[in-house]
């Protein structure tokens, strides 16, 4: 997974919190540690006192956190809103290297982080390794539209609000220092696997195979991961060593083409040569995609074929018959033969117009696009962030935003025949519909609602695409994969 794949996760927006009741402002070690670091490093205690009161009173709106920056609108008692930003320097690359090495060196830290937990003594051990997580004197740089030259009550209130967010999720601190949760955990897994490989043969591949090192073959065939594992086991036996990793082959420029099945004798009864060639071509496309992602993410250090967990994200996720029919049509390299198109339409169960729109949704966003089209449930936390993001945009630009009306869970009408939708992955889509037609995605997803609407307006897209299922052309050269989000 490349760095660009993490762009969507490297900004998080939290809903505005209600006023804080009771004596304690925060309830966890991480929240208290942030407050202590804030108060120990601040030079103006009076601004801190005012800011703490505003935060306690619920004056801080939705908070956006991304690497190096915290943003929110903070309102005075008279309702006047001020955009407030607090900047914190990101850890440099060598700082993150030291942090990752420290975490991998300490089994307790590694296990906790991979279990989405952050033990309190992680801060001290990271500091000893040269990776400071909590802010020190002069580390927090405030910016506010109230024109204060330094810390003001608004930026102080925002700093205190971060402590309450750390109560909810301490990984917010790592995001603020430059690494989103998924990117960090992937880096830990890769580094841990590489270290285990260097530790010796006992860290390598083991396989429970037969006398020849080949898994038993059943009626359903042998999964690809088991085939790779068996080949690695045979290679180990041939070299007379306990284990071996199967090296990844070079990436071909294009997926391989299946042999032609047109013969003079004709196909056996019950075999459709066109359908069989079509499925073989699809298998080649998927195999090349798997290899490309393995090579791009450095997973070759872990070897190929060790487990389903080693597959690129989404390829190990099962699809329904209807979803797979859509995927097959959307990712086809060539126009579908009429008989194959008929079988896919029948397997999809949507009818031809619905199938055409579903294929478009998959081509634009994979299984995630199909889920948004079908209105599949969106997790409560994603809906909460989406609602807060819309409110956040409204706070910053009350005059320029479009009029939105809730049109269902995760859907907002922006005008006649146009909807904004959010998916389970937090990405935003614009859907359009003309009279008598089906809702259809107007374009690819965007990381935020403003970008989605801007792209839609720039393209001047009106209504769903035309075309015929029978005449479906090839999909994109590098289409979204199975279950890709």
Give one DSSP letter per residue of 189-239, joined into a string.
HHHHHHHHHHH-GGGS------TTS-PPP-TT---HHHHHHHHHHHHHHHH
User: Which of 252, 127, 174 lies closest to 12 in space, CA to CA?
Assistant: 174
State residue 76 phi and psi, 5-degree precision: -75, 175
Is there a contact between 109 and 101 (Cβ–Cβ < 8 Å)?
no
SS3 427: coil
- Give the Cα separation of 423 and 251 in Å (integer): 32
DSSP-derived secondary structure letter, 446: B
* Run of H or E including 391: helix 380-396
> According to the per-residue pLDDT averaged within each range, which of 63-67, 134-138, 235-239, 467-471 is highest?
63-67
- The band of 61, judged by pLDDT with boundaries at 50, 70 and 90, is very high
pTM over 0.85: no
Question: Which residues are registered as beta bridge partners of 71?
Answer: 64, 85
- Give the Cα separation of 62 and 388 in Å (integer): 6
How many Å separate Cα 123 from the centre of its chain? 26
Q: What is the mean pLDDT of the chain?
A: 75
Question: Token pair for residue 88?
Answer: 């914190």
State residue 73 phi and psi, 5-degree precision: -100, 125
SS3 371: helix
Radius of gyration, CA atoms only, the chain: 27
Question: Which residues are registered as beta bridge partners of 63?
Answer: 14, 72
Residue 65 clears pLDDT 80, i.e. is over it:
yes
- The band of 90, judged by pLDDT with boundaries at 50, 70 and 90, is very high
**CA-angle at 166, arms to 162 and 168, nearest 5°:** 120
- Would you state the pLDDT for residue 143? 92
* Run of H or E including 48: helix 45-56
Is there a contact between 453 and 402 (Cβ–Cβ < 8 Å)?
yes
Span 242-268, mean pLDDT?
64
Give strand ranges (E) for 301-357: none
What percentage of the chain reaches a pLDDT higher than 70?
A: 71
Quickly count helices (H) and strands (E) in the chain: 15, 10
- Would you state the pLDDT for residue 401? 52
Residue 268 clears pLDDT 80, i.e. is over it:
no
If one compares 237 and 456, the residue with the highest pLDDT of the two is 456
Question: Token pair for residue 440?
Answer: 């259809």
- Give the Cα separation of 411 and 407 in Å (integer): 5
Residues 6+ apart with CB under 8 A from 208: none
- Would you state the pLDDT for residue 69? 93
């Amino acid at each position: 997974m490349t760095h660009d794949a993490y762009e969507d996760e490297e900004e998080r927006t939290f809903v505005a919190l209600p006023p804080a009741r009771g004596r304690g402002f925060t309830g966890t070690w991480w929240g208290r540690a942030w407050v202590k670091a804030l108060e120990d490093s601040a030079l103006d205690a009076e601004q801190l006192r005012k800011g703490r009161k505003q935060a306690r009173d619920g004056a801080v709106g939705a908070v956006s956190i991304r690497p190096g920056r915290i943003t929110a609108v903070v309102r005075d008692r008279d309702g006047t809103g001020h955009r407030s930003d607090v900047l914190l320097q990101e850890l440099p690359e060598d700082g993150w290297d030291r942090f990752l090495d420290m975490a991998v060196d300490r089994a307790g830290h590694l296990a906790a982080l991979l279990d989405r937990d952050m033990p309190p003594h992680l801060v001290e051990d990271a500091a000893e390794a040269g990776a400071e997580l909590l802010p020190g004197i002069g580390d927090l740089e405030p910016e506010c539209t109230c024109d204060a030259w330094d810390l003001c009550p608004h930026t102080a209130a925002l700093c205190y609000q971060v402590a309450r967010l750390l109560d909810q999720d301490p990984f917010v601190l790592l995001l603020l220092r430059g690494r989103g949760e998924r990117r960090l955990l992937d880096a830990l897994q890769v580094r841990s696997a590489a270290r285990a490989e260097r530790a010796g043969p006992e860290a390598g591949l083991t396989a429970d195979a037969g006398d020849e090192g080949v898994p038993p073959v059943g009626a359903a065939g042998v999964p690809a991961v088991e085939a790779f594992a068996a080949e690695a086991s045979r290679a180990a036996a041939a070299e007379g060593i306990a284990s071996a990793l199967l090296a990844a082959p070079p990436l071909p420029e294009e997926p391989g083409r299946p042999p032609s099945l047109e013969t003079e004798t004709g196909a056996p009864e019950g075999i459709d040569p066109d359908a069989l060639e079509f499925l073989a071509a699809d298998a080649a496309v998927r195999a090349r995609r798997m290899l490309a992602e393995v090579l791009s993410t450095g997973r070759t250090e872990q070897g190929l074929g060790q487990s389903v967990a080693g597959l690129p994200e989404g390829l190990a996720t099962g699809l329904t018959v209807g979803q797979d029919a859509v995927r097959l049509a959307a990712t086809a390299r060539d126009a579908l033969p009429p008989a194959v198109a008929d079988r896919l339409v029948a397997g999809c169960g949507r009818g031809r117009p619905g199938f055409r729109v579903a294929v478009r949704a998959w081509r634009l966003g994979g299984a995630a696009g199909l889920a948004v089209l079908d209105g599949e449930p969106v997790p409560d936390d994603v809906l909460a962030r989406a609602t807060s993001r819309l409110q956040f945009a409204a706070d910053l630009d009350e005059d320029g935003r479009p009029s939105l009306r809730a049109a269902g869970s995760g859907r907002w009408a922006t005008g006649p025949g146009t909807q904004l939708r959010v998916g389970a992955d937090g990405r935003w889509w614009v859907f359009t519909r003309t009279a008598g037609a089906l809702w259809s995605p107007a374009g690819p997803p965007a990381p935020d609602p403003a970008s989605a609407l801007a792209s839609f307006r720039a393209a001047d897209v009106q209504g769903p695409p035309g075309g015929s299922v029978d005449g479906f052309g090839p999909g994109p050269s590098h289409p979204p994969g199975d279950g890709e989000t």
